[in-house]
């Protein structure tokens, strides 16, 4: 089984609110960046925004511990289930050196044909590459 995909995130001054911690809306940006990096690594290319792609149907974030500007953070990403037309992605945001996550994100993504504007089956090429990267993946 491959390692869980990890993306290091650079925190910037504008990520921090007046209370001195990272603003909650920024977390989704971190998860989005890690999601794009995951698919580029696993599929070998960026997903098209003009043909077949993935759209978010549901996203849930649990904020477990505040993050501050001086923290070094990374997002670990993996697919938690793979269906016919959709997949569930689980992401954990960690402060480097801390074994417990500071935030958790679960996202359901639906395969979507951008021109036809309707859902479709996840391409076999994608499914095979995801299963090769994550051989222990449960299938729906």
**Tens place of pLDDT per residue across the chain (140 aa):** 456 899 999 999 999 998 889 999 999 999 999 999 999 999 998 888 788 999 999 999 999 999 999 999 999 999 999 999 999 999 999 999 999 999 999 999 999 999 999 999 999 999 999 999 998 887 66
Facing residues of 70 across strands? Answer: none
89 within 8 A of 79, measured Cβ to Cβ? yes
> By residue range, what is the domain housing residue 88?
5-130
Number of domains in the chain: 1
140 inside domain? no
15 inside domain? yes
139 inside domain? no
Matching residue, tokens 């974030």: 61
- The residues, any chain, with a CB within 8 Å of residue 5's CB and separated by 6 or more, are 34, 37, 38, 41, 42, 76, 77, 78, 133
Size (the chain), residues: 140
Contacts 24+ apart (CB under 8 A), 88-96: 89/35, 89/38, 91/31, 91/34, 91/35, 93/9, 93/27, 93/30, 93/31, 93/67, 95/65, 95/67, 95/71, 96/71, 96/72
State the CATH number of the domain containing residue 49.
3.10.129.10
pLDDT given at position 1: 41
Cα angle 90, 95, 99 (rounded to 5 degrees) comes to 75
- Estimate to the nearest angstrom the gap between the alpha carbon of 72 and the chain centroid: 18
pLDDT given at position 3: 63
């Amino acid at each position: 089984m491959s390692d869980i995909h990890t993306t290091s995130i650079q925190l910037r001054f504008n990520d921090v609110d007046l209370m001195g911690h990272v603003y909650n809306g920024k977390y989704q940006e971190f998860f989005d960046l890690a999601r794009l990096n995951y698919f580029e690594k696993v599929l070998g290319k960026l997903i098209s925004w003009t043909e077949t792609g993935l759209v978010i149907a549901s996203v849930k974030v649990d904020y477990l511990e505040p993050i501050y500007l001086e923290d070094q953070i990374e997002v670990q990403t993996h697919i938690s289930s793979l269906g016919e037309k959709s997949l569930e992605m689980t992401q954990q945001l960690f402060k480097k050196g801390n074994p417990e996550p500071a935030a958790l994100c679960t996202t359901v993504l639906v395969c979507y044909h951008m021109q036809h504007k309707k859902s479709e089956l996840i391409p076999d090429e994608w499914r095979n590459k995801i299963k090769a990267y994550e051989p222990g993946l449960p299938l729906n």
